[in-house]
Amino acid sequence: MPYFDISILRCPVTSETLCFIGKKETREYVRNYDVHLLTLEEISAGYINESGTYFYPVFQDIILLLPVYALFIGKGDDARGKMAFDKERVFKYYNEINYQTKNGLKIYEDSPKWVDFREVSSEYIRNSFTRAKYYLNSKGKYFLDIASGPIGLKEYIELSDNYDYRICIDISMNALIQAKYNYSHKPGIFICGDITNIPIRDNTCDAVLCQHTLYHIPKDEQKTAVEELYRVAKSNANIAIVYSWFYHSWFMNICLFPIQIYRLARHFAGKLYVKLFHSKPRLYFYPHSPGWFKLQFKFGKDIEFYCWRSTNIYFLNLYVHRWLFGRRLLKFLKKLEDKYPKFWGSFGEYPVIVIKK
């Protein structure tokens, strides 16, 4: 039986409540399951929605509430839609990516592309990893980590220290397997799900965290994703979204002008390439502007931008070196970010977008 209150879950297709069924009953439903996704032996239990139309398997204690993993067991038409092309790109990318072990934790193999692990930058980088915690409620029952990935950093793990449960939701089942390994010391609820259709009931979570994910959602679905984060948060809870302004960051545009031009050209060239050649999965990326966030939502007045980190890896690789007083530069930057978090949250590279419900 589940070790948490399953009434917090909801069917992602019909929005109904879900009922848990054990392994013996599950066998009756999964005889015709698509073995290309999972084998029958891997399914240990499952959930059925209230109307008895969809079955969702449990694999290694991970609840697969992504419609692509559901089994339609009702009569009539299957209400599931097809996964959009850009979302499917992200789904395939994170299900095919490999992992490496660093400091005893599983992290994405491509992490060094985006994170500066050099010793000269370590203090500055680690500080940014903790910043989201400043804007979330200090304790509670449910801490939702949406698109959690493997939670491969000590600082990320500690974000939910004062919560009873950390709900890890990710589109990648493989990422959740790594997250279970990294977060084995405390109760975790691991769900394969979609940020634009979160399989959690309204007003459930005491804190909602979304780090480095929203800009990988198709641009026309980012509004839906933010509204979903707002929906599942409790009243008076905070939502913290770590985002990238990319070419909307004036600080990076000034400091990295030629590099930013190159990144922009590569960005749009990559979009064209993916449309023409459906080969290796590539990550989708689209950054909205600060103004977009303020204008798109009925709760726009409750949105604030704070600094997560003002710089990106291109800046760090170019300007920060031990022989060039790199530590002093980053200490100075950290002081500025701490003193003027709203300024750097609007003009730096990575903001924490905070929404008070």
Do 110 and 249 share a domain, yes or no?
A: yes
CA 313/CA 80 separation, integer angstroms: 40
Do 190 and 305 share a domain, yes or no?
A: yes
Last residue of a domain, one of 14, 43, 72: 72
Give the residue numbers spanning the domain of 143: 89-356
Do 262 and 351 share a domain, yes or no?
A: yes
For residue 79, being part of any structural domain is answered with: no
What is the DSSP secondary-structure string of 249-299? -HHHHHHTHHHHHHHHHHHHHHHHHHHH---S------PPPHHHHHHH-TT
Task: Give the count of domains, the chain.
Answer: 2
**pLDDT for res 78:** 86
CATH number for 327: 3.40.50.150
pLDDT tens string 306-350: 999 999 999 999 999 999 899 999 999 999 999 999 999 999 999
CA 315/CA 251 separation, integer angstroms: 10
Q: Is the C-alpha dihedral spanning 327, 119, 145, 109 positive or negative?
A: positive
Do 242 and 175 share a domain, yes or no?
A: yes
Instruction: Report, as an integer, the average pLDDT of 38-63.
Output: 88
For residue 1, being part of any structural domain is answered with: no
Confidence of residue 32 (pLDDT cuts 50, 70, 90): low
Do 31 and 180 share a domain, yes or no?
A: no
Do 155 and 276 share a domain, yes or no?
A: yes
Do 43 and 113 share a domain, yes or no?
A: no
Q: Is the C-alpha dihedral spanning 144, 145, 150, 152 positive or negative?
A: negative
For residue 236, being part of any structural domain is answered with: yes
Do 68 and 94 share a domain, yes or no?
A: no
pLDDT tens string 276-297: 666 555 678 899 999 999 999 9
For residue 78, being part of any structural domain is answered with: no
For residue 84, being part of any structural domain is answered with: no
CA 106/CA 178 separation, integer angstroms: 6
How far CA 193 is from CA of 43, 66, 169, in Å, comes to 17, 5, 6
| pTM of the full structure | 0.92
For residue 44, being part of any structural domain is answered with: yes
For residue 83, being part of any structural domain is answered with: no
Do 231 and 297 share a domain, yes or no?
A: yes
Do 54 and 198 share a domain, yes or no?
A: no
Do 68 and 93 share a domain, yes or no?
A: no
For residue 81, being part of any structural domain is answered with: no
Do 66 and 104 share a domain, yes or no?
A: no
Instruction: Report, as an integer, the average pLDDT of 153-171.
Output: 96
> Taking CA 183 as the corner, what is the angle to CA 95 and CA 1, rounded to the nearest 5 degrees?
90
